[in-house]
């Protein structure tokens, strides 16, 4: 089969290669991949600057949906042909405190599909059956290709940010993660305010189409004044920084209310300068969010199945694996929103 492979460490060293079709081992299922999303971390793997362990040669990709193709020995409760998605944690130790408490996304030994274990930029992938989730009725595998980032967002909004109905939540960065974050906030009964810049106008327009009433171009509008006006001068109850940009982080800390909450979702890729004294002066509760766990996936699938969050409108481009260079170029140039491979 043809697969997109990171074949050596360092910048580049990625190509489409002929790889053997995987066979499911005990407790595994083989999934025929129907759609696979491109993540920012895939670009970091391509450039050789990702902070998580990567062990080439490895098939890249970790966001995907498809149908069960074959069952390994001992698998029960799943049937060939079932449309499914899979969590990305291919290995966790099961012994550390985070693992024992169910927060295996924080396991220091966690290894990830597409980083160490072969991923989904291929027609087939084998995964452990207990990480597999059947899709809710009516959810297409194309829409479900965004389940992994939606699970990350659900973890950030509901489990780390503890968003409550009636609250005002500011989201910085209207990329795929920001657009999903705004939708999950709205589904929780809160009011999202999505902030972007001039180059984000198409994304802000899409947010409006998705039902996000408050969108701000911070280069044309005074974001602090707009948020103050919306909250009676208090400021945002909670901020989700999804851009991974220092300016966005500084904006978030400036508009969150006294006693409010700040959640870092985006990754900067380098050190940034922010005024941490604001945490003290305003008694801000600051936290972060990384990856997801089973509870996040169960909540995410309920949101997706109910229609309260829509993912398919975010898909701006579709590519065969052979056009991966153009797909990566468009992703880095921010010319699309969410890009997916159709491996077959």
DSSP assignment string, 111-175: EEBTTTB--SSSSEEEEEGGGEEEPPTT--HHHHTTHHHHHHHHIIIIIIS---TT-EEEEE--S
Measured between alpha carbons, how far is residue 308 from residues 14, 133, 135 in Å? 37, 19, 15
When pLDDT is cut at 50, 70 and 90, the band that residue 227 belongs to is very high
When pLDDT is cut at 50, 70 and 90, the band that residue 50 belongs to is confident
- For residue 344, pLDDT beyond 80: no
Per domain, the residue ranges of the chain are 2-146+311-341, 151-288
Answer for the pair 242, 181: CB distance below 8 angstroms, yes or no. yes
Read off the pLDDT of residues 100-123 as tens digits, 9 standing for 90 and up: 999 999 999 999 999 999 999 999
∠ Cα 79 84 89 (to 5°): 115
Read off the pLDDT of residues 20-29 as tens digits, 9 standing for 90 and up: 999 999 999 9
Read off the pLDDT of residues 125-148 as tens digits, 9 standing for 90 and up: 999 999 999 999 999 999 999 999
User: Model-level pTM?
Assistant: 0.95
Phi, psi of 238 (to 5 degrees): -150, 145
- For residue 88, pLDDT beyond 90: yes
pLDDT at 241: 98
Answer for the pair 136, 205: CB distance below 8 angstroms, yes or no. no
Read off the pLDDT of residues 288-311 as tens digits, 9 standing for 90 and up: 999 999 999 999 999 999 999 999
Q: What is the mean pLDDT of residues 245-269?
A: 95
Phi, psi of 17 (to 5 degrees): -130, 155
For domain 151-288, give the fold.
Rossmann fold (3.40.50)
pLDDT at 248: 96
CA–CA separation, 188 and 335 (whole Å)? 30
- For residue 202, pLDDT beyond 80: yes
CA–CA separation, 264 and 245 (whole Å)? 11
Answer for the pair 140, 312: CB distance below 8 angstroms, yes or no. yes
Rounded to 10 degrees, what is the CA torsion of 228, 202, 269, 92? 100
Q: What percent of the chain has pLDDT over 90?
A: 95
Contacts of 166 (CB under 8 A, 6+ apart): 189, 190, 191
CA–CA separation, 317 and 319 (whole Å)? 7
pLDDT at 27: 97
Answer for the pair 68, 79: CB distance below 8 angstroms, yes or no. yes
| pLDDT, averaged across the chain | 96
For domain 2-146+311-341, give the fold.
Quinone Oxidoreductase; Chain A, domain 1 (3.90.180)
């Amino acid at each position: 089969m043809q697969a997109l492979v990171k074949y050596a460490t360092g910048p580049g060293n990625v190509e489409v290669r002929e790889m053997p079709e995987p066979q499911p081992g005990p407790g595994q299922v083989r999934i025929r991949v129907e759609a696979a999303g491109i993540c920012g971390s895939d670009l970091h793997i391509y450039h050789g600057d990702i902070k998580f362990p990567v062990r080439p040669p490895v098939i890249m990709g970790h966001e995907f949906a498809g149908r069960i193709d074959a069952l390994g020995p001992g698998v029960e409760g799943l049937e060939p042909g079932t449309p499914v998605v899979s969590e990305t944690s291919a290995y966790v130790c099961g012994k550390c405190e985070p693992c024992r408490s169910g927060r295996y996304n924080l396991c220091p030994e966690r290894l990830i599909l597409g980083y160490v274990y072969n991923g989904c930029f291929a027609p087939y992938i084998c995964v452990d059956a207990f990480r597999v989730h059947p899709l809710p009725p009516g959810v297409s595998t194309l829409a479900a290709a965004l389940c992994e980032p939606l699970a990350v967002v659900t973890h950030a909004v509901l489990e780390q940010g503890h968003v409550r109905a009636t609250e005002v939540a500011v989201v910085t960065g209207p990329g795929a993660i920001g657009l999903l974050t705004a939708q999950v906030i709205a589904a929780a009964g809160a009011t999202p305010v999505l902030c972007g810049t001039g180059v984000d106008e198409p994304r802000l327009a899409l947010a409006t189409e998705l039902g996000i009433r408050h969108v701000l171009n911070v280069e044309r509008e005074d974001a602090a004044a707009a948020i103050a006006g919306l909250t009676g001068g208090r400021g945002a109850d909670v901020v989700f920084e999804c851009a991974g940009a220092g300016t966005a982080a500084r904006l978030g800390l400036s508009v969150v209310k006294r006693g409010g909450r700040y959640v870092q979702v985006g990754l900067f890729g380098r050190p940034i300068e922010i005024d941490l004294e604001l945490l003290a002066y305003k008694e801000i509760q600051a936290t972060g969010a990384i990856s997801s766990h089973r509870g996040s996936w169960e909540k995410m699938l309920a949101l997706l199945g109910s229609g309260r969050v829509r993912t398919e409108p975010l898909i701006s481009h579709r590519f065969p694996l052979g056009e991966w260079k153009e797909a990566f170029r468009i992703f880095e140039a921010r010319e699309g929103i969410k890009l997916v491979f159709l491996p077959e």
